[in-house]
Structure 1
Amino acid sequence: MTIVTVTDLLRTIDATLAEKVAPSVGDVGGRSALATVRHLLNFVRVRVEREGQTLVDDIAALQRLLIDLRGYLAGVGDSAMADGIADTLGMLPPPDSARYRALDELAADAAVLRETLHVALAFLQRVRDTRRDDPAYRAARAAIRAYTVRQIEQEGEIVAPAFFGRGPRR
């Protein structure tokens, strides 16, 4: 028995567009639109294949980072900011290996955590002049930078195989 996956369906749609639709499109605008649709189909395929694990990894990294930031902030007396981080972390559902989580749910959780990180970073930037010589402050900022670098790398791991080497886009 053969199981047809979402990836198989997307590849079949793309092949149909390339083999059946593309030859009948005569004008430049139509060919350009078709090329864009094919690029987007490939992007969706790559996201289906990789985005779930990327989001799970990102959520775990954000939770660890925010726990560390909460500890730092509580330790230096910024209890309101530390409590805000704790509230955000408490809102998230606990991991449940028995339940598949949809990409939209994972993306929503990641967005909440990223917004909390953004708020914490903005706060740390506001107190930079008074804390820049504190090694714990510098470590917190370095941890945020390391997370940001990894997030950009993860996005590249999804975008690059979806678009590079596939011809021009509009």
Structure 2
Amino acid sequence: MTNAVLLVVDVQVGVVATAWERDRVVNNVALAVRRAREAGVPVIWVQHEDDDLRRGSPEWEWVPELQPAPGEARIYKQHNSAFEDTELPALLEKLDVARIFLAGAATNWCIRATAYGALERGFDLTLVSDAHTTRDLDLGKGRVLEARSFVDDLNTAMKWLSYPGRVNSVATAAEAAFRA
């Protein structure tokens, strides 16, 4: 396996509507998409659907700033990890992928699950550190987990985790070393 892909996960209207630093992060996802395309790295668009995010609804659609180009693969998922019960593993095998660049939403759910899923399946992973976001999580009784903390936590984990035979890292959208 030698190739790389950029996975753009769940940057959908209803997912990021109230996300932390939504506009900045969406712009960074767009930058990562542009840079990946320029480098000849395929972009794979992963789109969530469930009872609260129904396929075809306005909330299910991609944000206006991001649209798949003709011919770019689209994966539809119903679980947090883009690997679970989807065509993604077969597509990555077909493309002979070794490295995944990862961007999107929501950091504490689908990005985290997909990042760990990639590493557990033997892929090298680069988390695009300024191109993922989520919302604050209200636990009730005055306890709130802040979105920024989720982002910082996952960026730190992806920098320091160690898996045998794999390389995981973080890089900004402007600094990511996209190579076909």
TM range (shorter): under 0.3
Larger RCO (CA within 8 A; separation ≥ 6): 1
TM-score, length of structure 1 as denominator length: 0.26
Give the structure with the larger strand fraction. 2
Q: TM-score if structure 2 supplies the norm length?
A: 0.25
Normalized per residue, the structure richer in helix is: 1
